[in-house]
Amino acid sequence: MKKMMITAICGVLALSSCGSRSADSGIDSGSTRDRREVTESVTASPVQVKFYDNYPRGYGQGLETDGKNRPTGALDFNAKYGKYDADAIDEKGKKIRLTFDQGYENGYTEKILDTLKEKKVKAVFFLVQDYAERNPEIVKRMIKEGHIIGNHSVTHRSMPTLSPEEMQEEINGLNSYLKEKFGVEPELFRPPMGEYSELSLAVTKQCGCRTMLWSFAYADWDVDDQPEPSAALERLTGAAHEGAIYLLHSVSATNAQILGDFIDSAREKGFEFY
């Protein structure tokens, strides 16, 4: 994940520009240096304008776990940002959700879909618009086989570096494209590179999407330095926990190779996939 310059700025969120959800009235209290809230009526309109903290943050679940092997970083994220309809862990019993970020195609997605079909597992595929444009048949197969299509933005830009209007365009633009071309309108959004702010989470919520991060991820994205399969399988299996959200990349030859074995191993431990 790329490093970001640590600056705290405030951004304006026009709540009328996105979805139909009502405005969230809750904001964490904090120092005036990092955040402030202003609510004012707009002339001749019921719309309210709020100021949210746009302090850029890069998400990672961390290494610490609780007694149930759940990453405490993911649990802390839920506790702090759940009011923005944002999750890093599902907390729904002994279940695992598989998610794949689809930035570009590397020839392994079809094999991954074959394995998911064989094992009767549904996954979430977070698409960037360029991926959907270049691989319409794969997207159609994902939909036909019952997988969930998620929104990973139009152009894969870091959300907290954008204006509220640009954030909306990244989310709504892809949702509109997917609805027009494939008949689906995602309800889940994964911010590119896991970078977010209070403002970007609030914009996402107002656009009618729920932010989904993850409680497990590993270095699987570098096609020139793929993890060794047996070690990767051990790591995926050893990280299993209640309510897990696994972030995987379909560009990974290793993931395509070990996915079926991982599903079998997790099921042997009593986990379900959903």
Q: Show which residues are catalytic.
A: 101, 249
Angle subtended by helix axes 136-144 and 109-119, to nearest 10: 10
Integer Cα distance of 209 and 191 in angstroms: 11
Question: What DSSP letter does each residue of 134-194 carry, written as one string?
Answer: H-HHHHHHHHHTTPEEEE--SS---GGGS-HHHHHHHHHHHHHHHHHHHS----EE--GGG
53 touches 160 (CB < 8 A): no
Compute the Cα dihedral for 109, 115, 120, 123 and give only its sign. negative
How would you class 121 by CB atoms within 10 Å of its CB: exposed for 0-12, middle for 13-18, buried for 19 or more?
A: buried
Angle subtended by helix axes 253-268 and 229-238, to nearest 10: 40
Integer Cα distance of 158 and 153 in angstroms: 10
Beta strand 45-53 with 40-42 is antiparallel
The secondary element (H helix, E strand) that includes residue 98 is strand 95-102
| Phi and psi angles of residue 85, each rounded to the nearest 5 degrees, phi first | 55, 50
